[in-house]
Structure 1
Amino acid sequence: MKKLIMPFLLLLVLVISACSNESTTKESQSSAKEEKNETIIYQSENGPIEVPAHPERVVVLSSFAGHVMALDVNLVGVDSWSKMNPRFQEKLKDVEEVSDENIEKIIELNPDLIIGLSNIKNVDKLSQIAPTVTYTYGKLDYLTQFLEIGKLLNKEEEARAWIEDFKKRAQKAGEEIRAKIGEDATVSVIENFDKQLYVFGDNWGRGTEILYQEMKLNMPEKVKEMALEPGYYALSLEVLPEFAGDYIIFSKNPDSDHSFQETDTYKNIPAVKNNRVFEANAKEFYFNDPITLDYQLEFFIQNFLGN
């Protein structure tokens, strides 16, 4: 009798165990499905919008790819400017390049969230594909913008932690730089693009937010007068010396004409003569997302302090 009971009990244990595992698997799958379908209400600048609580397939049509990557959220489509950024290339190698006019291509990517600037086209069509959130460039300061992306992606805590740490690092570096170059020294940020020279205010990428807002370095008076309010100012080579600070950050576009650097006008600028021009690849310097900001901060520390 015992010989008959033992195999039966063993079989019963195996059946119960299998049922238990199956039940656990189903519960786990059900829980994952519920989490995937979970939504939150995000207060966008255009009003409340329902978005996924855990987005998995995000399309960014302008400016914010670095913000999304910094929060470890998966991207399936990005704009051409992000795609050509050398700093982003590794992370974006399998991500499609799209624009606001590639409606069919975006449909194929099956996004669960679309992000862009307020001037993108076809917002109505895009909103039919997935929840679409837009931001007006410059309406928020650069760190608040990241915080908003954090809220949108349901990662506000992570965004706040990064912001707090970044401000500390940038302000500490600013103190050290001012101590070295002098409290009255001026810094200007220039860029060449499509045969045109530009100078920038304190909120137009290219490291301007770090230099002027966090490090409290001085902007030349002429830059303050012409570029501070609009964010940037186009100028000719002839007047460049009037906008040049004691130090120049040159956001140098590798695809543009740099012949102006061979002119006497440029060579006679004191910052040029004193070896105080720090050149950066413009394609790595355009944005003000956390990935780019960390790179810019390191660039300034190395060039001003030699660390």
Structure 2
Amino acid sequence: MIQISRTGIRNLASNDTVYARGLQYYKENRIVSATYSNAAKQYRMVVKGNYNYSVTVDEQEDGSFDYNCNCPSRLKDQGACKHVVAALLFILKYQERTLMSESKSPEERKVMQVIDYFLAQEDTIMVGETFQLDVTINIPTILKKDTGRAFISLHGGSNRKYKIQTIKKFLSNIYYNENFAIGKEFRFIHGESTFDKTSQAVLDYLLELYEIQEIIDSTHFSKIFSKSEVTITKNMLIKLLDTLHGSSFSLALYGKAYSNVHFLRENPKIS
């Protein structure tokens, strides 16, 4: 059995934000498959982010373990990524439930339930204000296979939305856990402020683009971020639309503006 605890997992994470995101992934049941090889003493899991990432956790004889994830952040950050955090929390919960099921007497099970309750309180994260991102997609011309481009712009805030004038700086602030303010009312405090579920999904999508740019020579991606817009290809647009599935966004299509647009991979219902 792996010697693991919530505090240990938090300490393994590359930073508190990564731990919080991994905890969120775990609570959202982002682990889509999990297997254990008794012969190899290895857990293998698939964690769903914007893409499916493979996490392996190898159990050592002394109870320690090694882990690996095939996401891009492993090339840059020291410590466990959010996918590994989610996987380790999954293993921890599995081991706790196994231990509880092996408890023989009702008294022992009651004690384990009480311990499990108080351990779960460690997962509670104090958060401040929750913000939203409003997405605008601009498709000026027909998207051909190789040459067509679409453009993303963002407004962010809570009651009042502010246009994000420099998206790359905005993503950099979030990526490096920095506090920032846009306008008078959009004040993001690292470790306290959050984004709603849909906005966080969009943010994860954009942060992956930013992360790849930071890992690879930025000159290769100099045309992606241009002040208040992100330039994307047809395939990148489809990925974004899948991320926005079920949520509204604004669309500028061939020079005409549309609001409250929804993307569906099905025939629309006509009444």
TM-score bracket, shorter-length normalisation: under 0.3
Higher relative contact order (CA 8 A, sep 6+): 2
Report the structure number with the largest CA radius of gyration.
Answer: 1
Q: TM-score, normalised by structure 1?
A: 0.24
Which structure has more helix as a fraction of its residues? 1
* Structure holding more strand per residue: 2
Structure 2 length normalisation: TM-score?
Answer: 0.26
